[in-house]
């Protein structure tokens, strides 16, 4: 779960950075195009101004007039060669009236960006006008758009990560609560049995007859303790006969199942195959799968364990004739806290999947299922 959380955190961060960087370069390219178009527009506007100023009484200046009157987006300040302001267009008249230095400050700002056009009135280049121009609202919006988008992406990523974190913490809480209940359940059976044997001894029971059963329950407590101690650590794995382990689990569970449940063990291996695994943990996985199968069949039906192999793997199929699982729930059943039982804790399959996939680099999944006919879980272990 922790790995998944950090994986999502990395993905969200990467996507956010990709969007912002991509948008920045695209907006910058777009801004340069608009800037070039606006400079051309100002050049045409200045030329139109000169045409109108130098036109005679009978000259046609309709096109120049249209160009001048339609330029209502880009602020322009006209000055002489001494930067004395002669005229201006497309500025907030209220702001100009309230601040005497406003236009001069704008001239310095435009000049520092090189945003001006120079027109000469004499051949010596001593008399000229300068047209300083700013940026249209559209160009400003394009320039500031990446910053706005960055803020949006940061907020989205923040809330996305908070959501993922909350889901992760919720799953962790379900897992820890389930583990606590599973621990109590696992310990409860042998402890209750030991209490019963103790009562028998107190009432004069035969020590020699009781001791073997007490030893079995003590061994069971040791096994439970060993299993839980391996969770979160590095379990000890050895090359072992998988048939022997599966057979042992089947016999153990057969004694604790209903007489109406028929167990079948199919060995499809050519020879005794040795597999690298931890016996206590794989036994735990098999017990969990068999318990789920028994619950699904409600104590009546056929339970088949089939062992097969490929050149690199050993497959263990656990098939029941129970209620079946909808295909939409194939992944959900492995989520911490997910259960369809009234008294379930939703931790057995989660632990089983972690044991097989994280500790043994194998696979645990629903191979097939049909509602009303049964389900097959498959365990894949590497040789």
The more confident residue out of 132 and 191 is: 132
pLDDT at 342 over 60: no
Angle, helices 137-202 vs 2-54, to 10°: value is 170
Q: Which of 147-156, 165-174, 307-316 has the highest mean pLDDT?
A: 307-316
pLDDT at 5 over 60: no
Of 235-239, 304-308, 379-383, the range with the lowest mean pLDDT is 235-239
Q: Which residue in 323, 335, 248, 337 sits closest to 287, CA to CA?
A: 248
pLDDT at 266 over 80: yes
pLDDT value at position 224?
77
Q: What is the DSSP letter of 333?
A: G
> Coil, strand or helix: which one is 266?
strand
Q: Which of 16-20, 136-140, 228-232 has the highest mean pLDDT?
A: 136-140
Q: What is the DSSP letter of 122?
A: S
Residue 369 phi/psi, 5-degree rounding, is -160, 145
Cα–Cα dist 72/128, whole Å = 24
Cα–Cα dist 306/97, whole Å = 91
- Residue carrying structure tokens 């790995």: 3
- 214-233 average pLDDT score: 78
Cα–Cα dist 360/352, whole Å = 11
pLDDT at 64 over 50: yes
Cα–Cα dist 134/67, whole Å = 18
pLDDT at 301 over 60: yes
Q: What is the DSSP letter of 361?
A: S
pLDDT value at position 2?
45
Return the structure tokens found at 217: 């329950």
pLDDT value at position 1?
47
pTM score over 0.75: no
Cα–Cα dist 282/327, whole Å = 26
- 7-13 average pLDDT score: 68
Query: pLDDT tens, 234-253?
Result: 788 889 899 999 999 999 88
Q: Which residue in 365, 359, 369 sits closest to 379, CA to CA?
A: 365
pLDDT at 305 over 90: yes
Q: What is the DSSP letter of 357?
A: I
Say if CB 95 and CB 110 are below 8 A apart.
no
């Amino acid at each position: 779960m922790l790995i998944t959380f950090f994986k999502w955190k990395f993905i969200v961060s990467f996507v956010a950075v990709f969007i912002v960087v991509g948008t920045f370069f695209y907006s910058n390219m777009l801004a340069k195009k608009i800037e070039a178009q606006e400079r051309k527009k100002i050049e045409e506007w200045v030329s139109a101004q000169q045409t109108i100023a130098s036109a005679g009484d009978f000259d046609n200046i309709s096109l120049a007039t249209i160009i001048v009157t339609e330029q209502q987006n880009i602020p322009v300040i006209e000055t002489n060669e001494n930067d004395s302001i002669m005229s201006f267009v497309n500025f907030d008249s209220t702001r100009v009236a309230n601040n005497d230095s406003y236009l001069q400050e704008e001239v310095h700002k435009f000049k520092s960006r090189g945003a001006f056009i120079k027109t000469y009135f004499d051949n010596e280049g001593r008399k000229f006008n300068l047209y300083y121009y700013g940026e249209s609202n559209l160009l400003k919006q394009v320039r500031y758009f990446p910053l706005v988008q960055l803020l949006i992406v940061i907020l989205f990523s923040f809330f996305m990560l908070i959501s993922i974190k909350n889901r992760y913490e919720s799953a962790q809480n379900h897992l820890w609560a389930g583990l606590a209940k599973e621990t109590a359940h696992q310990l409860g059976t042998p402890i209750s049995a030991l209490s019963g044997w103790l009562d028998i001894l107190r009432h004069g029971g035969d020590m020699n007859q009781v001791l073997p059963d007490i030893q079995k329950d003590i061994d069971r407590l040791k096994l439970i303790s060993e299993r839980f101690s391996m969770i979160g650590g590095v379990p000890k794995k050895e090359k072992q006969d998988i048939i022997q382990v599966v057979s042992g689990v089947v016999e153990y569970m057969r004694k604790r199942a209903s007489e109406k449940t028929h167990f079948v063990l199919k060995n499809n291996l050519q020879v005794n195959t040795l597999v690298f695994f931890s016996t206590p943990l794989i036994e735990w996985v098999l017990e969990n799968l068999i318990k789920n199968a028994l619950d699904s069949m409600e104590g009546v039906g056929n339970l088949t364990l089939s062992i097969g192999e490929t050149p690199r793997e050993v497959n263990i199929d656990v098939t029941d004739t129970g209620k079946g699982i909808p295909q939409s729930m194939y992944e959900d059943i492995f989520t911490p806290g997910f259960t369809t039982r009234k008294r379930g804790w939703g931790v057995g399959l989660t632990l089983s999947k972690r044991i097989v996939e994280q500790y043994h680099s194998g696979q645990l999944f629903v191979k097939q299922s049909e509602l009303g006919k049964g389900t097959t879980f498959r365990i894949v272990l590497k040789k």
